[in-house]
Amino acid sequence: MAQQAYVTETADDGPGPGRRQSRLRRLLHRITRGWRGDRRIWRRGIVLAALAVVLSLVLGLHAHIPNRIGNLGSLVETFLPWFGLLIPVLLVLALVRRSATALIAVALPAAAWLHLFGGLLLDRTAAGGDLTVATHNVNADNPDPAGTARKVAASGADVLALEELKPSAVPAYERALRSTYTYHSVQGTVGLWSKYPLSGVRPVDIRLGWTRAMRATVDTPEGPVAVYVAHMPSVRVRADAGFTAAQRDQSADALGEAIADERLPRVILLGDLNGTMNDRSLNAVTAQMRSTQGAAGDGFGFSWPAAFPMARIDQIMVRGVEPVSSWTLPRTDSDHLPVAARVNVTTPATGS
């Protein structure tokens, strides 16, 4: 009977999808053939099952991982989507181990990951929008400021924010962007270029002792929009101190206070926050604003490092305007990717 079943499976082996499906059936048959009648399939793989449960707890309860020791919680949340790579590894090991217990347990982290990030796998972009914005950490050591400026301006952004501006390089950025943007202001190491008039320009104190954030009113044809540009302090992972993010967290709190005090109903934040939307230490900002990538992006939109993006730390966030689309721009001579978004200023926002 076994031989007859094998002949049936291979009878329609021919070129194309049918042949591939037949091979897959045979592979699954070989994997599971030894499971039948083997009562040990429930006793094997207990360690794998335990690892799957731990992974599901990390994904589902990441907000409860304490930050008291080396900011471990924020470190985990920064790279949280990548924990999903452990799921297929556990699945393969469960199949090799022939453990039904482990196979069932792997469903737990799979469900947790899909709950957190499944929506990002869908294309949420839409047509329309009346304002395009972009932001880019250009890198203080950028060898080609003018070329970088032209590449980002080619996105068609109406409003462009640049961070990590080296004072000696500012004239190069100004010359490269002059023909595209009539209005601009540089405050400390951040700058804002706009096709529309700027008013109410001022630095924003984020408790660093020097200027790395600013605020301006952009007088768009659809009405005034408050635009904030910010560059949060850098973070590092050190063996003796863990995730060194205390200064960034203090600056995020200060920025959150400034945005909370903003009187204009329509607000856009552009900048390098050196943190992801999952990082609870940025709650002072993220709790009152909406990520354009999460609302209207296609995929995760990772922006750093540019050579192999692993985290979305460059953010475009909005309040009182509706995100329509969000995307990353082609690589420049910076270690960050530029990011851009299209928003509706005239359409009432459906979320905060």
In the chain, the percentage of residues whose pLDDT exceeds 90 is 80
**pLDDT band per the 50, 70, 90 thresholds, residue 36:** low
Residues 66, 331: Cα–Cα separation, whole Å = 36
Residue 273 lies in a domain: yes
Q: Are residues 112 and 250 in the same domain?
A: no
Residue 123 has pLDDT above 80, yes or no: yes
Residue 8's pLDDT is: 44
Any idea what the CATH number is for the domain that residue 314 is in?
3.60.10.10
Residue 300 lies in a domain: yes
310-350 pLDDT per residue, tens: 999 999 999 999 999 999 999 999 999 999 999 999 876 66
Q: Are residues 304 and 202 in the same domain?
A: yes
Q: Are residues 200 and 276 in the same domain?
A: yes
Do the Cβ atoms of 348 and 317 come closer than 8 Å?
A: no
Q: Are residues 178 and 317 in the same domain?
A: yes
Residue 316 lies in a domain: yes
> What is each CA distance from 48 to 13, 16, 54, 113, 279, in whole angstroms?
36, 36, 10, 18, 28
| Total number of domains constituting the chain | 2
Q: Are residues 102 and 158 in the same domain?
A: no
Residues 318, 343: Cα–Cα separation, whole Å = 9
Q: Are residues 159 and 97 in the same domain?
A: no
Do the Cβ atoms of 138 and 163 come closer than 8 Å?
A: yes
Residue 244's pLDDT is: 84
Residue 198 lies in a domain: yes
Structural domain that includes position 245: 131-344
Give the closest residue to 265 by CA, choosing from 184, 342, 325, 346.
Answer: 346
Do the Cβ atoms of 72 and 66 come closer than 8 Å?
A: yes
Residues 335, 105: Cα–Cα separation, whole Å = 39
> What is each CA distance from 209 to 66, 191, 213, 274, 276, in whole angstroms?
29, 18, 11, 18, 24
Residue 227 lies in a domain: yes
Tell me the whole-structure pTM to 2 decimals. 0.86
Of 101, 121, 141, the residue at which a domain comes to its end is 121
Q: Are residues 195 and 106 in the same domain?
A: no
Residues 187, 182: Cα–Cα separation, whole Å = 17
**Using CA atoms in the order 248, 294, 259, 263, what is the torsion angle rounded to 10 degrees?**
170
Residue 19 lies in a domain: no
Q: Are residues 334 and 308 in the same domain?
A: yes
237-281 pLDDT per residue, tens: 877 677 889 999 999 999 999 999 999 999 999 999 999 999 999
Residue 11's pLDDT is: 44
